[in-house]
Structure 1
Amino acid sequence: MTGPLTGVRVIDLTAALAGPYGTMILADLGADIIKVEPPGGEVTRRVGPYPPSDGGQQTLGGYFQSINRGKRSIVLDLKSPEGHADLMELVRTADVVVENFGPGVVERLNISYEELRKTNPRLVYGSLTGFGAAWSGESPYINWPAMDITIQAMAGALSITGTEDGKPVKIGPGIGDIFPGTMLTIGVLAALWEAQKTGEGQQIDVSMFDAMLSLCERMVYQYSYTGQVPKPIGNTHPILTPFDVLEAKDGWIAIAATTQLRWEALCRIMEMPELITSPRFRDEGRRVEHRSEIRQILDTWTRALTRAELREKLGGKVPFGPVNDIRDIFEDPHAWARDMLVEIENPGATQTAIVAGQPIKFSRTPSTVGVRAPQLDEHGDALRTEVRAASTNGTVG
């Protein structure tokens, strides 16, 4: 592996999406991620889709490949004395431990931060739960289980997502998992920086609820400033216009010409310069007041043109984009030029896997995705050998 985190060792005790997504980022940035799995493997190993098989070894499913690429796997039964002892030896060599167990589990397994810091005082310990740990602010929901959709609901995202006259709509990606996982990664990196200076680790607590509420920051200040409860408004914006998704002859496009200069540019492209001087549309505030009229004007104009024609007229001149599905993105040169679609090995399959790339780019220590996810316990023997060698050489802790 290459990347700015080369040399950092992370013990990954996470499962499902939120935690593994966060440690995936660390893996892409060069950290050595040791994925500790229970006997039988982490739950997402049993989630598809699966590629066509060549009849050989079992293939890796898309879910697991996508967020566990670049990691090493070791199976440990943390409920057994032997598995617990093996984990403690790994912790001695680690910089970071990340976990997303349910409430009370790390205490029952005797792997809490208070316990592990006795073995490794410089350890950074990242915890991700639905509603946070008691030490950082005890929530009445501390013992509630949490999933992407329930967190989107409770933290407010569902209340502002959907059509103006429709029911709440879940945000498409698992943002209730992915954003908290990303925030945990930020916390881990900050704590690592601090530990380098002090030699002491600390615990990071990220609540899925808290992360999602921070993502919905706009509705917080809107309610605070106005006393009004934000509601779903479809694809538009509550305080900016035009900012919308519009129908074309052969699909959909998005336009966001919200500043004065961009509004004027859009009017000239549409060959409607009279809109620039119209008292109803003269400035940003008036345009918001007449949002529905502007929408009708744009609808009429865009429906007469194809997406390709709109791209020719608007691309690079005002904020514009076609509404792409994943087939469109696979055909888009940007995604390939920026290494945002990456082929990785898929053992036992008749085709390689393609996963989403790493958006953080570095000029000198590049991030990489090129290593596939591990087979179950693929690195168990090698990791035990490494730990024994480190203990013999006095390089642990």
Structure 2
Amino acid sequence: MGALDDLYVLDLTQVLAGPYCTMLLADMGAEVVKIERPGGDLIRSNPPFYDDPDAEAYGGYFQSVNRGKESLELDLGEDEDREAFLSLVEKADVVVENYRAGTMEKFDLGYERLREHNPGLVYSAIRGFGDPRTGETDRQGQPSFDLIAQALGGVMEITGEEDGPPTKVGPGVGDLFTAALNAVGILAALHHRERTGEGQFVDTAMYDSMISLCERTVYQYSYGDEAPTRQGNSHPTLFPYDAFETTDGYVVIAAFGTNHWQQLCTAMDRPALAEEYPNRASRLAHRETLREAIASWTREHDTETVLSALSGIPVAPVQDVADVFADDHVHDRDMLVDVAQPGTESSVTVAGNPIKMTRTPPDPGYRAPLLDENRAELLDEQVRASTRRPTPSDE
């Protein structure tokens, strides 16, 4: 039994932000029907492929964020397909889409129309710049991707080396953080509906989400009237809190607490530093000198030696994904999940779900669907009744 296994979600999203949001819901048991345009999600053909791109139904990008869903191919520009979609809306709890503002209205399938068919519907939109219903701006209707959101929201300005250019964060946080917030909004709207019977419109914008992610820069600017900028791996108010080179890699050290600072100085055989810089303010004021003292020590030792010497202090190696795959902790936490890859006889690995629950644990172990794979059971009521996931009321 999944925590959300009585939830029926129609997912009109594609690429990353929307699919990641609905993937979270599917992992927790929701029945998620991916409504795909003719030809399917744009990223079905995106690499990497396990073996043969001509034989495989989709690549790793699609597999990773569409696992556990069903697929139905519909052309919402056609009357028959619009009617099929509306028939599903009448039974749905949630509709999620990530088109530009106004796109669903062009099909006469906007929130107000769908609400006529299902007053309790939670309609959720993920857009670059939000929806006019929750705050109209001149940016709405403009295209947006992760890179655009990171640039506008301030992420790139505070990421990178101090003397280097603005740098995008590696993972697509403009998509992924927005998606996670949108899932929270959906669940909050469903909780409201349980108490009142009312559905509502949920809107999460990528630009807005990046401002929320950069919350530190907002209060820093408000308090000091100076815009924060790049400072590498260091922290504006904590020291040491940085990455340091070793003979065979890098480690990060977060020893800004006085107790940890004293332990670090002892491990480096520099007890005088602990006495000379006994509090946070003094360490921040002399951070460049102290950083070089730490860096000189770490550069003389390999990573394992540094980790051993700093046992008990917040310290870790900088790992690549091969290191992650080799880490027992990751496997013990079920953060690597094998799923079938259509077109091969092998399974592939995708990231697990970080939400852990003792009674209703998420289950991300189902592959992504083939295009239009579930048409029969989704559009045929008799077939659907015998094949849908069981709900508590069925038991």
TM range (shorter): over 0.9
After TM superposition, give the deviation of residue 388 of structure 1 in Å.
Answer: 8.0
Instruction: Provide, for residues 125-179 of structure 1, a one-character-per-residue CA deviation record: whole Å limited to 9, x for no partner.
Output: 1011111111211122112111111110011111111101111111000111111
After TM superposition, give the deviation of residue 72 of structure 1 in Å.
Answer: 0.4
Cα RMSD (Å): 1.5
Corresponding residue number in structure 1 for 2:282: 286
2:360, 2:284 → 1: CA distance? 46
The letter of the residue matching 2:291 is R
Q: 4+ residue stretches of structure 1 with deviation over 6 A?
A: 387-390
Is residue 11 of structure 2 the alignment partner of residue 12 of structure 1? yes
Mark the CA change 1:388 to 1:139 in structure 2 (over 3 Å): closer, same or farther: farther
Among 347, 365, 370, the alignment partner of 1:370 is 365
Among 361, 370, 394, the alignment partner of 2:356 is 361
- Whether the 8 Å contact between 2:21 and 2:183 is mirrored in structure 1 is yes
Secondary structure in structure 2 of the residue aligned to 1:372: coil
After TM superposition, give the deviation of residue 350 of structure 1 in Å.
Answer: 4.1
Among 56, 61, 69, the alignment partner of 1:71 is 69
- Whether the 8 Å contact between 1:51 and 1:350 is mirrored in structure 2 is no
After TM superposition, give the deviation of residue 351 of structure 1 in Å.
Answer: 2.6
- Whether the 8 Å contact between 2:263 and 2:310 is mirrored in structure 1 is no
* TM-score normalised by L of structure 2: 0.95
After TM superposition, give the deviation of residue 54 of structure 1 in Å.
Answer: 10
Identity of aligned residues (%): 44
After TM superposition, give the deviation of residue 192 of structure 1 in Å.
Answer: 0.6
Secondary structure in structure 2 of the residue aligned to 1:87: helix
1:389, 1:128 → 2: CA distance? 29
Among 160, 163, 187, the alignment partner of 2:161 is 163
- Whether the 8 Å contact between 1:51 and 1:59 is mirrored in structure 2 is no
The letter of the residue matching 2:350 is V
Give the alignment of 1:287-326 within 5 angstroms. 287-315=283-311, 317-326=312-321
1:234, 1:214 → 2: CA distance? 21
Give the alignment of 1:207-246 within 5 angstroms. 207-246=205-244
Corresponding residue number in structure 1 for 2:90: 92
The letter of the residue matching 2:19 is P
**5+ unaligned residues in a row in structure 1: which ranges?**
none
**5+ unaligned residues in a row in structure 2: which ranges?**
386-392
Mark the CA change 1:62 to 1:212 in structure 2 (over 3 Å): closer, same or farther: same
1:64, 1:298 → 2: CA distance? 44
Give the alignment of 1:1-397 within 5 angstroms. 2-53=1-52, 57-278=55-276, 281-315=277-311, 317-386=312-381
Secondary structure in structure 2 of the residue aligned to 1:98: strand
- Whether the 8 Å contact between 2:27 and 2:68 is mirrored in structure 1 is yes
- Whether the 8 Å contact between 1:235 and 1:245 is mirrored in structure 2 is yes
2:382, 2:320 → 1: CA distance? 46
After TM superposition, give the deviation of residue 58 of structure 1 in Å.
Answer: 2.9
- Whether the 8 Å contact between 2:9 and 2:93 is mirrored in structure 1 is yes
Secondary structure in structure 2 of the residue aligned to 1:94: coil
The letter of the residue matching 1:307 is T
* TM-score normalised by L of structure 1: 0.95
- Whether the 8 Å contact between 1:249 and 1:303 is mirrored in structure 2 is yes
The letter of the residue matching 1:132 is G
Mark the CA change 1:134 to 1:348 in structure 2 (over 3 Å): closer, same or farther: same
After TM superposition, give the deviation of residue 65 of structure 1 in Å.
Answer: 0.3
The letter of the residue matching 1:20 is P
2:195, 2:249 → 1: CA distance? 54
After TM superposition, give the deviation of residue 318 of structure 1 in Å.
Answer: 0.8
